[in-house]
Amino acid sequence: MNILEVIYSRRNIKSFKSNPVSMDQIHKWLEVASMAPNHKMTEPWEVYFIGDNTRTKLNHKTNFFGAPVVFAVLSKHGATDIETAENAQATACFVQNFNLAAWAEGVGTFWSSMGIVEKNRQVLGVPEGYDVIGVFGVGYPEEINKPKERTPIQEKIKYLS
């Protein structure tokens, strides 16, 4: 797949095979994800791999759709609100880089925003001064959903004088 095909075909996966995913591959995709743009080279992302014990405590209603690997991605706050916003934006780029790198090699991700909830922050042991950008199930997809239609981009564009 070329990069446009990778971007276009990626889906939020809601059904995983139980086959393991190589941790070496996951580390490789995280490494490449860290080439994400980040202002002032803050590299604000941190990744917490979630073992069975923590996964059970998180008690996601779907158990991450059977994904063999689950991790959370945190974003460190900056010294100012602007830097904190920039860091979250950079971490979202990191996440999407990971998602696309994995997808290009046949591995899908499920994105859950559950880490925003205080109870789940506590389960994950998130320190003060960090946002949880998402908790991700990672694995080989059992099913790939049809694309969700997007609004034609022209409807989202303004041309300023």
Ligand X SMILES: Cc1cc2nc3c(=O)[nH]c(=O)nc-3n(C[C@H](O)[C@H](O)[C@H](O)COP(=O)(O)O)c2cc1C
Q: Kindly list the residues in this chain that would bind ligand X in the complex (CB under 6 A).
A: 11-12, 111-113, 134, 145, 148
Q: Which is nearer to ligand X, 30 or 95 (CB)?
A: 95
CA 21 to centroid of chain Cα atoms: 16
CB 107 within 8 A of CB 25: yes
CB 62 within 8 A of CB 135: no
Q: Which is nearer to ligand X, 33 or 40 (CB)?
A: 33
Q: Which is nearer to ligand X, 10 or 76 (CB)?
A: 10
Q: Which is nearer to ligand X, 22 or 113 (CB)?
A: 113
Q: Cβ 92 to ligand X, closest distance in Å?
A: 7
Half-sphere exposure of 26 (CA within 13 A, CB side): 18
Q: Cβ 108 to ligand X, closest distance in Å?
A: 9
Q: Cβ 11 to ligand X, closest distance in Å?
A: 4
Amino acid at 13: I
- Tell me how far apart the alpha carbons of residues 1 and 10 are, in angstroms, rounded to a whole number: 11
With tokens 């002032």, the residue in question is: 40
Q: Cβ 116 to ligand X, closest distance in Å?
A: 9
First-residue to last-residue Cα distance in the chain: 38
